[in-house]
């Protein structure tokens, strides 16, 4: 069982006073790991975080409100099951609730096969999301003496990702660890800055959801232990 908490306090006061803000985070997390059976390792936990943003010192304005805040609550569980001598199934899921976006699910399922004692193949699919920072929902920032503004959609949705992976891991000579991973990422509701006519200003860059996108490629890495230390 583990419990952790943290507090973060950040104040940015640059020469450009429109960007003067103070940002604070408070978080508390609880988790537990146990083995319900010899071939099962189960983890679960609860975490929470509060974000507070103060832009009252920004001149003339950074947001259309001086104080904005939000909170996130999450519940997660993960089970790793070795259902055969060379096979492992890993299932993980979580649900998060954020004041502006509501509930968002995420999770990952992976299947791996041990080719030898030092090598394995695996495949996985997962869903993830990224919630826009609370301040980005209320942008009202002037530039060029008010000719240009940065604005935003208050109801902007989270960016989402469906990821597919196929990989190979192996250790050679007890010192060389290698990993090769093929991946394909399917994004939706990517956040963009869209140039639009004013008001406010003559033109404005609006922070909003844009378009879907795909990304695919291969990752390769290796680590060699020169000595035991």
Tens of pLDDT, residue by residue over 53-78, are 999 999 999 999 999 999 999 999 99
pLDDT of residue 92: 97
pLDDT value of residue 209 = 97
What is the residue-averaged pLDDT of the chain? 95
How confident is the model at residue 15, as a pLDDT?
Answer: 83
The pTM score is 0.87
Q: Does residue 11 have a pLDDT over 90?
A: yes
Note the pLDDT of residue 94: 97
The average pLDDT across 133-149 equals 94
Sign (positive or negative) of CA dihedral 187, 189, 194, 200 = negative
Q: Is the pLDDT of residue 139 over 90?
A: yes
Question: Would you state the pLDDT for residue 13?
Answer: 87
Q: What is the mean pLDDT of the segment spanning 39-59?
A: 96
Band of pLDDT at residue 168, cut at 50, 70 and 90:
very high
Over 90: is that where the pLDDT of 37 sits?
Answer: no
Percent of the chain clearing pLDDT 90 (strictly above): 92
Residue 86: per-residue pLDDT: 95
In this predicted model, what pLDDT tens digit does every residue of 92-119 receive, in sequence order? 999 999 999 999 999 999 999 999 999 9
pLDDT tens-place string over residues 176-214? 999 999 999 999 999 999 999 999 999 999 999 999 999
């Amino acid at each position: 069982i583990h419990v952790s908490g943290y507090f973060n306090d950040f104040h940015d006061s640059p020469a450009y006073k429109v960007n003067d803000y103070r940002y604070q985070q408070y978080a508390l997390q609880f988790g537990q790991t146990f083995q319900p059976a010899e071939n099962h390792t189960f983890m679960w936990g609860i975490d929470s975080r509060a974000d507070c943003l103060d832009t009252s010192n920004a001149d003339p304005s950074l947001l259309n409100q001086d104080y904005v805040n939000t909170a996130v609550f999450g519940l997660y569980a993960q089970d790793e099951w070795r259902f055969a001598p060379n096979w492992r199934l890993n299932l993980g899921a979580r649900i998060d609730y954020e004041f502006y976006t509501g509930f968002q699910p995420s999770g990952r399922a992976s299947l791996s096969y041990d080719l030898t004692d030092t090598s394995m193949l695996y495949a996985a699919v997962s869903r993830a999301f990224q919630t826009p920072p609370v301040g980005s929902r209320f942008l009202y920032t002037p530039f060029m003496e008010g000719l240009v503004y940065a604005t935003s959609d208050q109801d902007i949705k989270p960016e989402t990702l469906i990821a597919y992976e196929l990989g190979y891991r192996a250790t050679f000579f007890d010192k060389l660890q290698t990993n090769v991973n093929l991946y394909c990422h399917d994004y939706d509701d990517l956040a963009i800055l869209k140039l639009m006519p004013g008001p406010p200003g003559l033109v404005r860059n609006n922070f909003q959801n844009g378009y879907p996108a795909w990304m695919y490629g291969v990752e390769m890495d290796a680590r060699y232990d020169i000595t035991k230390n």
